[in-house]
Amino acid sequence: MAIVTAVSATFLLAALAPWLGRVLGTRAGWIFATVPAAIAVWLATRAPAILSGTPIEGRLAWAPSLGLELAFSIDGLGLLFGLLISGVGGLVLIYAGAYLGPHRHASRLQSFLLVFMGSMLGVVWSENLLGLFVFWELTSISSYLLIGFDHERPAARAAALKALLVTGGGGLCLLVAVLMLGSIGGSYDLGALLDERDTILASPWLGAIVVLVCLGAFTKSAQFPFHFWLPGAMEAPTPVSAYLHSSTMVKAGIFLLARLDPLLGSAAWWGPLLTAFGATTMVLGAVLAVRQTHLKRILAYSTVSSLGIVTMALGIGTEKAVVAGFAYLLAHALFKGSLFMVAGAIDHGCGEKDAERLGGLRRAMPALFTASLLAALSMAGLPPLLGFIGKELLLEATLAAPTWTTALVVATTFAAALTVTVAFLAGVRPFIGSLAETPRTPHAPSPGLLLGPGLLALLGLAAAVLPATAATPLALGAAGAVLGDVPEKSLALWHGLTPALGLSALAVAVGAGAYAGRRIVRSGLDRIGALDRVGPERLYGAALKGLLAVAGGQTRLLQSGHLRSYVFITLGTVVLLVGGTLWLRGAVPFDAGPENPTWPELLVGAVIVAGSIATVLSRTRLAAIAALGLAGYGLAIMFVLFGGPDLAMTQLAVETLTVIIFVLIFRRLPQFRSFSTPLRRLADGLVALIAGLMVTGLVLVIARTDTDPTLARWFGDHSVPDAYGRNVVNVILVDFRAMDTLGEITVLAIAAIGVLALLRPGRMRRRHRGRAVS
């Protein structure tokens, strides 16, 4: 139950935050942070138990009939992520308070951050895939609202939309995959699904499931070719970038891959897909990062690269690789979160975001510099920091990779080298050299701004120096959740003189060189930059534009605003469907019926036909009304011929009244004009003709069958004895089926009210914005 409490406490606080923010003012962040801090502490105390193999569990039935349960379970994987989410989350809440200061909507931001935190905890602790998905989508929504925090800027709105569409699209793929898994395995519970693992692996849907899961994970974790939304998301305020877009949300995709690895890991395409896309993303992200000068964008692209690394590690799938992946993930969360907050603090302190226009800040912000340096060195993979351990393990793992070994080693070393460059660029460059001119005079950050980056950077150091206290158990525990059992291994700074160390040294040397010659490197890369024109980001833009064009085009075509074409299409559809069915099934035999028509009948028929055709052909209003009346009176006579005096009288009266109304109204209307072209008229005539044939056919086919006389007989038998009326039609109307008549008179009453409202609309406010009259 503790888990449920933890998650719901976060959501509860989120709901109260806007109100609390008003009460507490700028200090609110510190208060809000107590909840995540408490969660982190709780997790830490329970960590030994979890790591020794007894996960914490909690359950809240939600909609069991739908297979949806909030079934939580914290294993090694959940512990690692849970600590990151709550730990970094607490720091970010404090940081956000300081960053936004007295901003009017500061507490709104914190509220969304808390929503996000709760959702993220839900994702990483869910035992039930459907529950996981629910929280997964919530992270997308809260991310949307967070990226668009500066909602009055169009760029922020566009970036929020981009992130939402990409991750939302992936979310739908994931949903379908989850549905397929549930359909095969009969449950959405991971445990139950694992029991059905063999069935799932043998399913013909396996390929589709793997691809759909990957689409979900790759979009969320900004893997190539979906990486482009992440740099765009830097439109968000820095606390958001630090939290969502470096240390937590983007890792949700990786979490998903890790979570499903035991289930899908042996599928043929799983490993190669992850390795290939991870490696591509790793290299691409690193290259793109070097090209940037804007601090947050540098960090964003390098985050893309790091996410690629972890994906690749999961793809390789060996014990070494998985451990390396989680060690790197932990290191990355610490150093990247720290660096983002540093970037934000710099921006806050001097109003400049461009790394190349910053310099010499070490004197104004010494403490921040220390934090930044530690984080940057960790990122660069230098000892004695956690980044170093992660990178060493990774190189070792690639060297031992079962397939594609050389390519992976080269790619990883290359990316590591560029990461060194990027680390210096983002974490060191702004502080060294001579003081650069900035929009604001640099001043030291407040404690709130310093706490986050400082603490995270220090943790990166502490975890590396004392790996056994936290880093080793956490990484191994997470790896154990993926691999099935916890590997016998320990993380250490010193591994001896291994090939990995050599590659590492090479990478640092190359990276430092590239940093020194970054102008040359950049101009070189800019030449490749031409590729941007065909890149996925362009594709996204083109797709969006294309979608709008298609949408507009088809809508303009269909919803043309022209009533004529509406009727035409509607009628055409009716004719096609009904006529088609009749054609296919009915094969209308031309059957004139048992009896030949008599002369009066022929005459009446001719009168009605003549009237209706004359209505179509007449060119004046009065002629048309007269013709219409002819058809109507003809109808009345027809009713007389076939034993319907009530009908005939009613038709006669109604027709007379109709003619009167038509005359009264049409005299105020213009003369008939013909608007359509002959071709249109021909097309309309054709459709009308087929429609007429359809009605004739239907009537003929049905008239051939004898109507079951049960009802007619019953009415005839019961009319006099039970309803005291001899006119059976009238008895049906006022007694047997009086409900119809009640509806009928209601229609009449409403029609009269409607006419009254139309003709006596009351006082109209005249305005001159009306359409021009031509």
Binding to another protein in span 325-354, by CB under 8 A: none
Q: Are 688 and 579 in contact (CB under 8 A)?
A: no
Q: Which stretch binds another protein (CB under 8 A): 337-345, 360-368, 382-390, 759-767?
A: 759-767
For residue 484, state whether it binds another protein (rule: CB under 8 A): no
Residue type, 477: G
Please say which residue, 133 or 388, places its beta carbon nearer to another protein. 133
Please say which residue, 213 or 321, places its beta carbon nearer to another protein. 213
Within 10 Å of residue 404's Cβ, how many Cβ atoms? 16
For residue 105, state whether it binds another protein (rule: CB under 8 A): yes
Please say which residue, 165 or 501, places its beta carbon nearer to another protein. 165
For residue 434, state whether it binds another protein (rule: CB under 8 A): no
Please say which residue, 302 or 719, places its beta carbon nearer to another protein. 719
As measured in angstroms, the least distance from the Cβ of 68 to another protein is 7
Of 1, 466, 622, 753, the one binding another protein (CB under 8 A) is 753
Please say which residue, 678 or 721, places its beta carbon nearer to another protein. 721
As measured in angstroms, the least distance from the Cβ of 274 to another protein is 23
Tell me, what DSSP letter sits at residue 294?
Answer: B
In the numeric block, which tokens belong to residue 71? 């079934």
Q: How many CA atoms lie within 13 A of 531 on its CB side?
A: 11
As measured in angstroms, the least distance from the Cβ of 537 to another protein is 17
Q: Which stretch binds another protein (CB under 8 A): 270-278, 384-392, 517-525, 562-570?
A: 562-570
For residue 489, state whether it binds another protein (rule: CB under 8 A): no
From residue 629, give the alpha-carbon distance in Å to each of 549, 625, 712: 49, 6, 32
Binders of another protein among 719-738, rule CB under 8 A?
A: 719-738
Please say which residue, 317 or 629, places its beta carbon nearer to another protein. 629
Please list, in sequence order, all residues whose beta carbon lies within 8 angstroms of the beta carbon of residue 42, skipping any fewer than 6 positions away. 2, 6
Taking Cα atoms as reference points, which of 166, 184, 37, 29 lies closest to residue 110? 29
Of 102, 674, 678, 679, the one binding another protein (CB under 8 A) is 674
Tell me, what DSSP letter sits at residue 234?
Answer: G
Of 582, 623, 626, 637, the one binding another protein (CB under 8 A) is 582
Taking Cα atoms as reference points, which of 618, 648, 646, 616 lies closest to residue 633? 648
For residue 168, state whether it binds another protein (rule: CB under 8 A): yes
SS3 label, residue 400:
coil
Alpha carbon distance 631, 633 (integer Å): 6
For residue 16, state whether it binds another protein (rule: CB under 8 A): no
First to last CA, the chain: 73
Tell me, what DSSP letter sits at residue 512?
Answer: H
| DSSP track, 505-550 | HHHHHHHHHHHHTHHHHHHHHHHHGGGGGGSHHHHHHHHHHHHHHH
Please say which residue, 497 or 758, places its beta carbon nearer to another protein. 758
As measured in angstroms, the least distance from the Cβ of 276 to another protein is 25
Q: Which stretch binds another protein (CB under 8 A): 293-301, 461-469, 505-513, 689-697?
A: 689-697
Of 155, 466, 542, 742, the one binding another protein (CB under 8 A) is 742
SS3 label, residue 495:
coil
Alpha carbon distance 423, 342 (integer Å): 12
Q: Which stretch binds another protein (CB under 8 A): 160-168, 236-244, 332-340, 464-472?
A: 160-168
Residue type, 773: V
For residue 759, state whether it binds another protein (rule: CB under 8 A): yes
Q: Which stretch binds another protein (CB under 8 A): 42-50, 100-108, 350-358, 437-445?
A: 100-108
As measured in angstroms, the least distance from the Cβ of 7 to another protein is 12
For residue 48, state whether it binds another protein (rule: CB under 8 A): no
* Bridge partner list, 354: 294
For residue 568, state whether it binds another protein (rule: CB under 8 A): yes
From residue 166, give the alpha-carbon distance in Å to each of 20, 206, 279, 536: 34, 24, 21, 11
Within 10 Å of residue 701's Cβ, how many Cβ atoms? 16
For residue 19, state whether it binds another protein (rule: CB under 8 A): no
Binding mask 602-631 for another protein (x = CB under 8 A): x--x--xx--xx-xx----x--x---x--x
For residue 62, state whether it binds another protein (rule: CB under 8 A): yes
Please say which residue, 57 or 684, places its beta carbon nearer to another protein. 684
Alpha carbon distance 667, 610 (integer Å): 24
Of 57, 354, 532, 684, the one binding another protein (CB under 8 A) is 684
For residue 713, state whether it binds another protein (rule: CB under 8 A): yes
In the numeric block, which tokens belong to residue 239? 């606390």
As measured in angstroms, the least distance from the Cβ of 726 to another protein is 4
Please say which residue, 155 or 534, places its beta carbon nearer to another protein. 155
For residue 356, state whether it binds another protein (rule: CB under 8 A): no
Alpha carbon distance 641, 645 (integer Å): 9
Q: How many residues bind another protein (CB under 8 A)?
A: 212
Q: Are 120 and 148 in contact (CB under 8 A)?
A: no
CA angle 115, 117, 122 (to 5 degrees): 95
**How far from the centroid of its chain's Cα atoms is residue 140's Cα?**
7
Please say which residue, 468 or 755, places its beta carbon nearer to another protein. 755
Binders of another protein among 120-159, rule CB under 8 A?
A: 130, 133-134, 137-138, 140-141, 144-145, 148, 151-152, 157
Of 519, 670, 678, 679, the one binding another protein (CB under 8 A) is 670
As measured in angstroms, the least distance from the Cβ of 237 to another protein is 15
Q: Are 394 and 328 in contact (CB under 8 A)?
A: yes
Please say which residue, 534 or 641, places its beta carbon nearer to another protein. 641
Q: Which residues of 247-286 are buried (b: 16+ CB within 10 A; e: fewer)?
A: bbbbbbbbbbbbbbbbbbbebeebbebbbbbbbbbbbbbb
Q: With helix as H, strand as E and coil as C, how does 240-285 read?
A: HHHHHHHHCHHHHHHHHHHHHHHHHCCCCCHHHHHHHHHHHHHHHH
Taking Cα atoms as reference points, which of 43, 52, 58 lies closest to residue 4? 58
Q: Which stretch binds another protein (CB under 8 A): 25-33, 277-285, 482-490, 740-748?
A: 740-748
Please list, in sequence order, all residues whose beta carbon lies within 8 angstroms of the beta carbon of residue 333, skipping any fewer than 6 positions away. 84, 88, 246, 247, 248, 251
Of 24, 44, 68, 637, the one binding another protein (CB under 8 A) is 68
Please say which residue, 407 or 582, places its beta carbon nearer to another protein. 582
As measured in angstroms, the least distance from the Cβ of 76 to another protein is 27
Binders of another protein among 173-212, rule CB under 8 A?
A: 173, 175-176, 179-180, 182-183
For residue 688, state whether it binds another protein (rule: CB under 8 A): yes
Alpha carbon distance 319, 269 (integer Å): 19
For residue 65, state whether it binds another protein (rule: CB under 8 A): yes
